[in-house]
């Protein structure tokens, strides 16, 4: 490999770019971002922003730019991009690996209610009859909750939503990582008695899961979508070992 494309947008993608810059300076690294976040955190190397136009568009880009290795370090819920990456790499015959953060593991005291999508999460939340719901799904999955009445919503996200929130909803703009103490303070301040989140995994936002457990707050959790076929890694080190094996 001489030129690698990282499909990024996560802290793992940044850490990988930094590791490659430090340990494999002979490799040219390009990180591609979807462009959804206005002020993204990025690592060293060349930065590309915007979509590709599906799997075929990505394949065309890989060929045009002479990319000979693809690392999908997108969010675990970026299922379309993951599928496009697998398809494009297979089509042109270059190695590809998916870097996906480990899932959180249930512990004693956890009360998780797993659902498939945001609309189902909103319906379950309504039936639980909470006083205040902390929602950490991101702006794209907020809409089903805005019609819920008779409760308060606290929506935490990196980017503000396109439309103003209704009076019963409070917007918190923040980027992780968060500490357990901070999550306890937030839940205490707003009297949160239900958490709605995605099964994102990793360390950056695990504190909310810990705080919910310690406060005996139920968690409505969106299940992860299935990963595409092909090699996968759960850490930057595993990806670095995979790259070494390809060279």
Question: pTM of this prediction?
Answer: 0.89
Average pLDDT rounded to a whole number, residues 223-243: 94
Query: Residue 30: enclosing H or E segment and its boundaries?
Result: strand 28-33
For domain 3-102+226-246, the CATH class is: alpha beta
The domain limits of the chain are 3-102+226-246, 112-222
User: Quick one: pLDDT band at residue 6, thresholds 50, 70, 90?
Assistant: very high
In contact, 44 and 17? CB cutoff 8 Å: yes
Q: What is the pLDDT of residues 63-113, one digit of tens each?
A: 999 999 999 999 999 999 999 999 999 999 999 999 999 999 999 999 999
Q: Which helix (H) or strand (E) holds 198?
A: strand 194-198
Contacts of 150 (CB under 8 A, 6+ apart): none
* Residue 243, helix vs strand vs coil: helix
pLDDT tens for 113-170 read 999 999 999 999 999 999 999 999 998 899 999 988 889 999 999 888 888 899 999 9
pLDDT at res. 50: 92
**Domains 3-102+226-246 and 112-222 are alike in CATH topology:** yes
Question: Which CATH number fits the domain 112-222, given the four candidates 3.20.20.100, 3.40.50.300, 3.40.50.720, 3.90.1300.10?
Answer: 3.40.50.720
């Amino acid at each position: 490999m001489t030129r690698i494309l990282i499909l990024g947008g996560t802290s793992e993608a940044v850490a990988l770019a930094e590791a490659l810059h430090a340990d494999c300076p002979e490799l040219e690294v390009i990180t591609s971002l979807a462009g959804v976040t206005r002020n993204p955190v990025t690592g060293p190397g060349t930065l590309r922003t915007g979509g590709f136009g599906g799997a075929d568009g990505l394949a065309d880009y890989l060929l045009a730019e002479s990319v000979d290795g693809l690392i999908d370090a997108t969010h675990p819920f970026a299922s379309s991009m993951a599928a496009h990456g697998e398809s494009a790499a297979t089509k042109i015959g270059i190695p590809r690996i998916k870097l996906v953060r480990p899932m959180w593991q249930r512990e004693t005291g956890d009360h998780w209610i797993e659902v498939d999508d945001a609309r189902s999460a909103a319906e379950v939340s309504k039936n639980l009859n909470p006083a205040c719901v902390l929602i950490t799904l991101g702006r794209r999955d907020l809409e089903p909750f805005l019609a819920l009445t008779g409760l308060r919503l606290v929506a935490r996200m990196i980017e503000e939503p396109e439309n103003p929130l209704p009076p019963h909803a409070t917007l918190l703009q923040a980027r992780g990582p968060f500490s357990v103490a901070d999550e306890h303070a937030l839940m205490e301040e707003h009297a949160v008695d239900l958490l709605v989140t995605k099964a994102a995994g990793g360390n950056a936002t695990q504190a909310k899961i810990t705080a919910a457990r310690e406060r005996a707050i139920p968690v409505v959790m969106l299940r992860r979508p299935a990963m595409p076929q092909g090699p996968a890694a759960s850490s930057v080190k595993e990806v670095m070992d995979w790259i070494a094996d390809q060279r």
